[in-house]
Chains A and B, each alone.
Chain A
Amino acid sequence: MLDTLAQAMALVGTPTTLLAILLSCAFGLFVGAIPGLSATMATALLVPFTFYLDPIPAIATVIACTTMAITAGDIPAALLRIPGTPSSAAYTDEAHAMTRKGGGGQALGTLLVSAFLGGLFGFAVLAIAAPALATAALRFSSFEYFWLAVLGLSCCALVTGGSLAKSTFALFVGLLASCVGMDPLTGAARLTFGSTNLMGGLSFVPAMIGLFAISELMNGTQTGATGGVTRIRNPFAGVGTILRRYRVNLLRGAGLGTLIGALPGAGGDLGAWISYANARRASKTPEKFGTGHPEGLVEAGATNNAALCSAWIPATVFGVPGDAVTAIAVGVLFMKGLNPGPQLLTENPQNFYAVILIFLIANLLILPLGYLAIRAAGLIFSVPRAYLNGGILLFCAIGAFSVNNSLFDVGVMIGFGIMAWIFSRAAIPVAPVILGLVMGPLVERNFLTSMIASRGDFLGFFERPVSATLGVVTLLVWLIPLARIAWRKISATRSLRHAEAHASRHPETH
């Protein structure tokens, strides 16, 4: 074991690998911090460079870039309300609300340090429990995946606040948008209206830019905002106190992220949503959520990077990617002859440990590089709002186009932007729309597969122990708030009747 670790350290400690890590981190920070550019895009852009590198530096570029891009995705989320990644969309409104209150630096510092600690936790789990966890995760069937996805969607609908009906409406708008294009099992064209552009479905990145950035622009111009200057001095100021106060959230977020990230096919994006919902539900002050409260940021921030690390468990040990980024990484591993799978641990364990050491280094670099990126990003707010609006519009248009090199996607962005603006007028949350859009295919594919397996018997979803547990938890997640609403209405009616009866018995006192 120690020999293997020493060999791994020797592989990672070469100047080429260290330089590749540093440059990829800087690139990931740059791309992740630009509104409209995602971590997936950053990683995909690096793949051509890996052709010219040895296996370990090649995989190091992918890992380092991803880690940093996902962390940097929080910067536009907090400062401009434009999430860099789907996972940061879970707490974009919270972080932006903190920025509006003048705590933008603290929001980013909290997210950064939580991500760092969550990443370390994920690293430890990846190093120690990778094979065991991957084996357990592989036992999951479509039944379990269906419930897990529905649980994530339910948490999202219930956590956003406001009217439950409106949150559910937003969630189903997202699910409906995910139906556009070819059906995942039969390939039947749905809601395409004869358009070939719609056959491949709606890309979620332009939709995300529209939902968050374009609607924000529309709201910003509408209120005539000229943009106050928010100086971000020391993003770490006060973060220690916050983390001490919410240490349980930190641990819970890291643990949850590790578990969810380790599930092949689930991906790390789901973790932050469930984690944020969980933080709110367990909080002593749930009413503060959405108003710029750091509790949810600590938990979801830790989840993000922990899930990012553990998503590599199925990717490296069994070659089953957890999400788009790890899918790219698995491709790079194959391309470089590092064939992910059990043999990576049995035949070339030094390569496996080299991969996880790269994680450690990338995680350690999060703090200094993230600090510099946050300080630099603070300058965004010294730019008058008029110029910032123009810049955002330009980046949104080009960013939406560059996803598929399609002008149609710019149209998708405009459509979702207008929809989000109308939603904001009607106090309908937009976050569930994006999760519905992302998770829709996963939910549908697993639901249909399970229904076919159980020959149309819905009870089949409760026959396996883990599936049944997840199913019961999901149903409770919906039933408890509904029961609470019903109880509140019954209590209100009773009090009214009681007051009327009292008034009729004692008319003289009124």
Chain B
Amino acid sequence: MTSRPSTTDDSAPASAGASPPGPSQTSPLLDLVIAGVSLAMGVALVIHAQDYRAMIPRTVIGPGLLLTICGVVFTGLGVTMGLGAVRRLPVGAPRGAAPQSLRFALLVPALLVAALAATPAIGFLPAAALSAFVLMKACGARWLPALGATLVLGAAVHLAFAEVMRVPLPAGSLF
């Protein structure tokens, strides 16, 4: 089944930058989810913005103004993008990332979170270097070169940041 050009493609052709899919290739289901998030966020923001007092009485001028504007725009965009996605739903099949590649993509933030979690024990630089090593391995690097590269990179980063620039990299309880 071929997918129809997106009805939300309402301006210039898509850039062929680094973003993997073009607008017409995106999953309408994902577009619908983003539209839903936009709508929910918009409504929540408009409600939340009412908590801030206006600087000039009987006007909306105050800390809540930009939040209100953002809320209104998000609500409008949610409706617009949602309608566009709904129109494509019966035609375009949901196209998510393949489970394996999704696991690879999630590995990067997972490694960074793991580095943050390991920092109190082994220090930030060793933890980040360890994450870099795991990423190298996950991308197919061999054990020994990956280990060597990690050590060289770790030493270079330590020299540049900790020694030359005097950045106080957090130490751990073990190192």
A interface residues (Cβ-Cβ under 8 A, vs B): 34, 45, 81, 93-94, 96-97, 158, 160-169, 172, 175-176, 179, 183, 185-186, 188, 190-191, 214, 216-219, 221-224, 226, 280, 286-287, 289-292, 384-387, 389-391, 393-395, 397-398, 401-402, 405, 407, 410-411, 413-414, 417-418, 421-429, 440, 443-444, 447-448, 451-452, 455-456, 481, 485
Contact = CB atoms under 8 A, between A and B. Distances in A.
A165 B77 contact: yes
A427 B81 CA distance: 12
Given A222-B102, A426-B30, A93 B18 contact: yes
A433 to B, nearest CB: 13
A414 B70 contact: no
Contacts of A444: 65-66
B141 A387 contact: yes
Contacts of B111: 393
Contacts of A481: 11
Nearest to B124: A401
A393 B128 contact: yes
A222 B105 contact: yes
B90 interface: no
In terms of DSSP, what is the predominant structure of the interface of chain A?
helix
B40 interface: no
Given A218-B109, A417-B108, A427-B25, A172 B70 contact: yes
A389 B135 CA distance: 7
B133 to A, nearest CB: 7
Contacts, number: 258
Nearest to A101: B16
A365 to B, nearest CB: 22
B153 interface: yes
Contact of B55 (A165, A185, A393, A401): A185
Interface string B6-47: 101111111111111111011100110010001000000100
A427 B67 CA distance: 25
Interface in B57-106: 59, 61-63, 65-67, 70, 73-74, 77, 80-81, 84, 97, 101-102, 104-106
In terms of DSSP, what is the predominant structure of the interface of chain B?
helix
A397 B112 contact: yes
With a 10 A CB-CB cut-off, give which of A218, A390, A429, A485 has the most chain B CB atoms: A390
Contacts of B27: 425-426
Nearest to B145: A387
A427 B20 CA distance: 8
B11 A221 contact: no
A386 B139 contact: yes
Contact of A394 (B65, B74, B153): B153
Contact of B6 (A163, A443, A451): A163
A475 B73 CA distance: 16
Given A394-B132, A398-B125, A423-B19, 8 more contacts: A162-B12, A163-B8, A167-B11, A219-B18, A394-B157, A407-B116, A407-B170, A427-B14
Contacts of A456: 56, 59, 61
A290 B14 contact: yes
A443 B69 CA distance: 12
Contacts of B157: 394-395, 398
B19 A427 contact: yes
Contact of B67 (A97, A179, A418, A447): A179
A45 B161 CA distance: 11
B139 A389 contact: yes
Contacts of A423: 19
Contacts of A397: 112, 115, 124, 128, 131
A452 B66 CA distance: 15
A414 B109 contact: yes
Contact of A425 (B30, B84, B154, B168): B30
A287 B67 contact: no
A390 B70 contact: no
Given A165-B80, A287-B13, A186 B62 contact: yes
Contacts of B174: none
Contacts of B31: 426
A45 B165 contact: yes
Contacts of A440: 66
Interface in B137-169: 137-141, 145-146, 149-150, 153-154, 157, 160-161, 165, 167-169
